[in-house]
Amino acid sequence: LEEAAFQLQQIFRIDISIALNILGIESMRAGHSRVAFTCFKLAADRGYSKAQFNVGLCYEHGRGTEKDLEKAGFYYCQAANSCHPMAQYRYARFLLQRGPGNDWDRHHKAVTLLEQAAVAGITEAQAYLGVFYMRGLQPKEKRGVKYLLLAANSGDAQSRYHVGVCYEQGLGVQQNLAEALRHYRQSAAAGNRQARERLRA
């Protein structure tokens, strides 16, 4: 009976958190950002990762509360620890820009989180990793192309442009101008200005 009661408490706690998070989303859509923040915060403090991510967004952009990047990082970290893919991406960016700890530890943790978010299908993480590996202190071009292609295939026109550059210059792939043109055309068709300029050149 104790186990059953515990399970019911857990379900009730999760259901309340889900309801609060949904109420927060609806309040934000209606333009009531302070109410939304309060709902998100109540659900986040109950350990609900989607609400923790939303609180992070509120603190990062100053919606419903004062802008506070340190608090945004804290809530992104909480949600990332629960394997929330977009929070993993956002917390990785936070770590690379201003996170706590020494540079090597922050860098290593950020790359691990970006890899997890990219594997989970977060296009922003794939694109970020692609450029990161191409331009890093020790470039890993083949790995960079892999992530750029993933992002490009998810519809990211900028990553498609970068794949074209890789084929044009032979970075991480065999140089192939026809393939470069194909990627530039696709990127330009999706509205990428750099790709249009490259095609004209």
Domains belonging to the chain, first-starting first, are: 122-200 (1.25.40.10)
pLDDT digits (tens, 9 = 90+) for 70-81: 999 999 999 999
Find, among 83, 72, 20, 19, the residue nearest to 49 by Cα. 83
Residue 95 has pLDDT above 70, yes or no: yes
pLDDT band at 9 (very low <50, low <70, confident <90, very high): low
Cα distance between residue 15 and residue 6, in whole Å: 14
Average pLDDT over residues 90-96: 93
pLDDT digits (tens, 9 = 90+) for 123-158: 999 999 999 898 865 678 899 999 999 999 999 999
Poorest-pLDDT segment among 51-55, 96-100, 107-111, 125-129: 96-100
Average pLDDT over residues 31-38: 96
pTM: 0.81
Instruction: Check residue 155 and report its DSSP letter.
Output: T
Average pLDDT over residues 92-102: 81
Find, among 90, 43, 50, 85, the residue nearest to 71 by Cα. 90
Average pLDDT over residues 38-51: 95
Mean pLDDT over all residues of the chain?
90
